[in-house]
Structure 1
Amino acid sequence: MLDFGAVSLEWGTMLTQAIVFLVLLLAVRKFAMGPIVAVMEKRRQYVENEINSAERNRKEAEALLAEQRRVLDEARVESKSIIDRATKQASDEAAKIVAEAQSAAERMKAEASAELAREVAKAKAELQEQMTSLSVLLASKILEKELDEASQKAAIDKFLAQVGDRL
């Protein structure tokens, strides 16, 4: 036994306590530390797998985002192409309609001019016919009676007035 005044130590108790401590330490190490370390290792692997999975998901999301942007850009280019084609087609159609309208207007103008020319020719023919009949009528009246110069002049003026009224 060791005596230090207020504290005394017994070798047997100390040795027993040391052996119990070592047995307890071995038991804790075997029965408690193994499962705790295994649980901690499983937890570490789970966290590592989750981090790897999150990294893969992030990369997949970035790839999908890039693909969506590419598809969106293609759609924009295609829609611009469709709009450009539609605009060109509408412009071509408008030009075609204007050309057809101008052609129709020219045809109508030509037909109207031809109709007017026919009407003028017809009017001239009728006028000439009337002039001929009036001339014959005047000549027959002049021949029926012999007129003096003043009477002839009055008859001609009257004839011209009649012709003017009919025109």
Structure 2
Amino acid sequence: MYGLTDNLIVQASGFPFGDAIIQLFFFIILLALLRKFAWGPLMNMMKEREDYISGEIETAEKSREEAARLQREASEELKQTRQDAQKIIEDARQTATKQEKDIIASARNESDRMKESARQEIEQEKEKAVQQLKDQVASMSVMIASKVIEKELSEEDQKQLIEQYVNEQGEER
């Protein structure tokens, strides 16, 4: 009696509750099977993909940071190299200026030394010439005196005698 009224109520409403419960039962089993065999591997694959992409993003970020660091280091090295080159150029300029001054000073010293040497040589030659002239005058005086002693000469004769002696001395040279 209870079963008949239930059947009538089920049929009267037109919805088969028994079929719905069976379908719900199979749907839950299907969900459990999907979860075990499809959803789990799919989620694992999605997780692996997420981990892979996350790793690639981290690697790319690290690479970008490394590239930025290397670029900064290269810029600093280039700046340092430019400073070193500028220092080398400045040192070369200073060295060249110093060498130029040294060469000029050396040339002046050499010029002064040569002038002094030439002046001393001229002075020596001058003294030598003066000494020779004195010697000649002395020997001429002695000769003239000896000639004067030999004969008493008039003023005209003395002039002639001196000219003759000077001519003789000039021919000897």
| Smaller-chain TM-score bracket | 0.7 to 0.9
Structure 1 residue 45 corresponds to structure 2 residue 55: no
Q: TM-score scaled by structure 1?
A: 0.77
Q: Deviations over 1:51-90 (max 9, x none)?
A: 1221121012111111211121012112211220122022
Counterpart Cα distance in 1 of 2:143 and 2:107: 52
Q: How far 1:35 sits from its partner (Å)?
A: 1.1
Superposed CA RMSD in Å reads: 2.8
Evaluate the alpha carbon distance shift between residue 87 and residue 166 of structure 1 in structure 2; reply closer, same or farther with a 3 A threshold: farther
1:55 to 58, 61, 64: 61
Letter in 1 for 2:117: E
Counterpart Cα distance in 2 of 1:149 and 1:28: 164
2:34 to 1, 16, 28: 28
In the alignment of these two chains, the number of paired residues is 156
Number of the residue aligned with 2:104:
98
Q: Mind listing any 5+ residue stretches in structure 2 that lack a counterpart?
A: 1-17
2:87 to 81, 88, 107: 81
Pairing 1:145-160 to 2, within 5 Å after superposition = 145-147=151-153, 151-160=157-166
SS in structure 2 at match of 1:50: helix
Q: Deviations over 1:15-57 (max 9, x none)?
A: 9888666644531232121111111111112111211221121
Q: Mind listing any 5+ residue stretches in structure 1 that lack a counterpart?
A: 1-11
Q: How far 1:163 sits from its partner (Å)?
A: 4.2
Report if aligned partners of 1:131, 1:163 keep a CA contact under 8 Å in 2: no
Evaluate the alpha carbon distance shift between residue 151 and residue 44 of structure 1 in structure 2; reply closer, same or farther with a 3 A threshold: same
Evaluate the alpha carbon distance shift between residue 68 and residue 86 of structure 1 in structure 2; reply closer, same or farther with a 3 A threshold: same
Counterpart Cα distance in 2 of 1:42 and 1:162: 132
Counterpart Cα distance in 1 of 2:161 and 2:121: 37
Number of the residue aligned with 1:71:
77
1:114 to 120, 124, 128: 120
Q: TM-score scaled by structure 2?
A: 0.75
Q: How far 1:95 sits from its partner (Å)?
A: 0.5
Counterpart Cα distance in 1 of 2:31 and 2:102: 102
Counterpart Cα distance in 2 of 1:162 and 1:127: 15
Counterpart Cα distance in 1 of 2:75 and 2:123: 70
Letter in 1 for 2:90: D
Runs of 4+ in 1 over 4 A off after TM superposition: 12-22, 147-151, 163-167
Letter in 2 for 1:32: A
Number of the residue aligned with 1:129:
135
